């Protein structure tokens, strides 16, 4: 099974609207819902929670929010490795030139002033998404790290040695676990995160079930399995070092 990010291009683009006005929430949702999947957050804290759990294709941000401001949220988005390349459009009643300049200086891709024409908003969003798609590097068909290569198309796993390679027979769950770990090599992934990625067909199992699959995966990977580190009370991380022979 391909990872979530690989398959999302076939789905509606996900937009997170960060806006505390119910009227504007409704207007934006009515404007976009035929072509986009719109999620809503009315505070900075809720937006941050959404962003941590879900991958979005574009952010629409109001500047004035109950628990902060959109400028700070934009800066946070652009400083995060996960979201730095996601387009940000400010949607705000603040129309002073200095506010616009500040927004663009933080990395915003566009600045739309309320009240706005719904057709123009949709056109601007579509344009930013096209630009982002064109700028994105082509998705690789393989993952490789620490002497392990996964062919995402053929769903094959190889252990690489200087003069040969050995195919490893992994279960679907083990393969999805390995893809998650390789694609975020060096990052600590919680059991909950791995559970979502690897066991989509049975998300109600206990998180500790992941431990059994990790143990089996390590065994099948042989010496390369040592790169899967247990991080006490946090989860697991793939930390490739010098390739073993």
Instruction: Kindly state which CATH superfamily the domain 4-135 is placed in.
Output: Response regulator (3.40.50.2300)
CATH 3.40.50.150 fits 142-238, yes or no: no
Q: Residue 202: pLDDT above 60?
A: no
pLDDT band at residue 243 using 50, 70 and 90 as cut-offs: very low
Higher-pLDDT residue of 17 and 138 is 17
| Sign of the C-alpha dihedral computed for residues 93, 94, 95 and 101 taken in this order | negative
Find the mean pLDDT for residues 64-91.
91
5 pLDDT exceeds 80?
A: no
pLDDT confidence of residue 6: 38
* CA dist., res. 225 & res. 148, Å (int): 10
Locate the domains of the chain by residue range. 4-135, 142-238
Find the range with the poorest average confidence among 63-77, 142-156, 187-201. 187-201
Confidence of residue 197 (pLDDT cuts 50, 70, 90): confident
Contacts of 154 (CB under 8 A, 6+ apart): none
Q: What is the pLDDT of residue 3?
A: 40
Looking at residue 186, its pLDDT comes to 87
Tokens 């059991």 sit on residue: 191
Cβ(180)–Cβ(189) below 8 Å: yes
Q: Give yes or no for residue 76 having a pLDDT over 70.
A: yes
β-bridge pairing 88-92 and 142-145: unpaired
| Predicted local confidence at residue 244, as pLDDT | 38
Q: Is 190 exposed, middle or buried (0-12, 13-18, 19+ CB in 10 A)?
A: middle
Distant-in-sequence contacts of 205-213, Cβ < 8 A, 24+ apart: 210/177, 210/236, 213/171, 213/173, 213/174, 213/177
Predicted confidence (pLDDT) at residue 199 exceeds the cutoff of 50: yes
Tell me which residue of 116, 84, 112, 115 sits closest to 100, measured CA to CA: 112
Same fold, 4-135 and 142-238: no
């Amino acid at each position: 099974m391909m990872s979530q990010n690989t398959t999302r291009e076939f789905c509606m683009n996900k937009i997170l609207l960060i806006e505390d006005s119910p009227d504007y929430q409704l207007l934006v949702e009515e404007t976009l819902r035929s072509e986009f999947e719109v999620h809503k957050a009315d505070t900075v804290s809720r937006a941050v929670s959404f962003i941590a759990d879900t991958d979005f294709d574009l952010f629409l941000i109001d500047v004035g929010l109950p628990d902060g401001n959109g400028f700070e949220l934009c800066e946070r988005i652009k400083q995060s490795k996960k979201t730095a390349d996601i387009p940000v459009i400010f949607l705000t009643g603040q129309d002073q030139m200095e506010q616009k300049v500040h927004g663009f200086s933080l990395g915003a891709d566009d600045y739309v002033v309320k009240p706005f024409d719904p057709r123009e908003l949709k056109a601007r969003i579509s344009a930013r998404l096209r630009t982002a798609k064109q700028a994105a590097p082509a998705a690789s068909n393989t993952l490789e790290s620490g002497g392990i290569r996964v062919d995402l198309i053929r769903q094959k796993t190889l252990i690489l040695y200087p003069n040969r390679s050995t195919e490893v027979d992994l279960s679907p769950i083990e393969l999805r676990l390995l893809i998650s770990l390789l694609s975020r090599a060096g990052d600590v992934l919680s059991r909950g995160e791995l559970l979502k990625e690897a066991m989509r067909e049975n998300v109600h199992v206990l998180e500790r079930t992941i431990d059994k699959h990790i143990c089996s995966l390590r065994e099948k990977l042989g010496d390369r399995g040592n790169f899967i580190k247990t991080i006490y009370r946090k989860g697991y991380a793939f930390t490739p070092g010098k390739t073993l022979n």
